[in-house]
Amino acid sequence: MTDKIGVLGKKAPQRTGVERVVNAPLPTAYGKFQAIGYMDHDRGDEQVALVYGEIGPDDVLIRLHSECLTGDAFGSQHCECGDQLDAALRAVVAEGAGVVVYLRGHEGRGIGLLAKLRAMALQAEGLDTVEANLALGLPVDARDYGVAARILDDLGVKSVRLMSNNPRKREALVSHGISVAEQVPLLIPPCENNITYLRTKRERLDHHLPHLDAVVNSS
Q: 155-198: per-residue pLDDT in tens?
A: 999 999 999 999 999 999 999 999 999 999 999 999 999 999 99
User: Within its chain, how far is the Cα of 57 from the centroid?
Assistant: 21
Q: What are phi and psi of 106, to 5 degrees?
A: -105, 5
Residue pair 174/187 in contact (Cβ under 8 Å)? The answer is: no
Give the pLDDT of residue 5: 46
Question: Quick one: pLDDT band at residue 11, thresholds 50, 70, 90?
Answer: low
Please give the angle made by the CA atoms of 9, 40 and 207, to the nearest 5 degrees. 150
Provide the annotated active-site residues: 141, 143
The chain-wide mean pLDDT, for the chain, equals 92
Q: What is the pLDDT of residues 123-159, one digit of tens each?
A: 999 999 999 999 999 999 999 999 999 999 999 999 9
9 has a pLDDT exceeding 90: no
Q: Name the pairing type of β-strands 159-163 and 179-184.
A: parallel
For the chain, percent of residues with pLDDT exceeding 70: 92
Separation of alpha carbons 23 and 18, rounded Å: 15
Q: Looking at residues 48-56, what average pLDDT do you find? A: 98
pLDDT band at 12 (very low <50, low <70, confident <90, very high): low
Pairwise CA distance, residues 186 & 174, whole Å: 19
What per-residue confidence (pLDDT) applies to 10?
58
Average pLDDT value for residue range 45-69? 97
pLDDT tens per residue, range 63-120? 999 999 999 999 999 999 999 999 999 999 999 999 999 999 999 999 999 999 999 9
Q: Are strands 18-27 and 45-52 parallel, antiparallel or unpaired?
A: unpaired
Instruction: Give me the mean pLDDT over the 7-35 stretch.
Output: 85
Please state the pTM of the whole predicted model.
0.89
Note the pLDDT of residue 13: 62
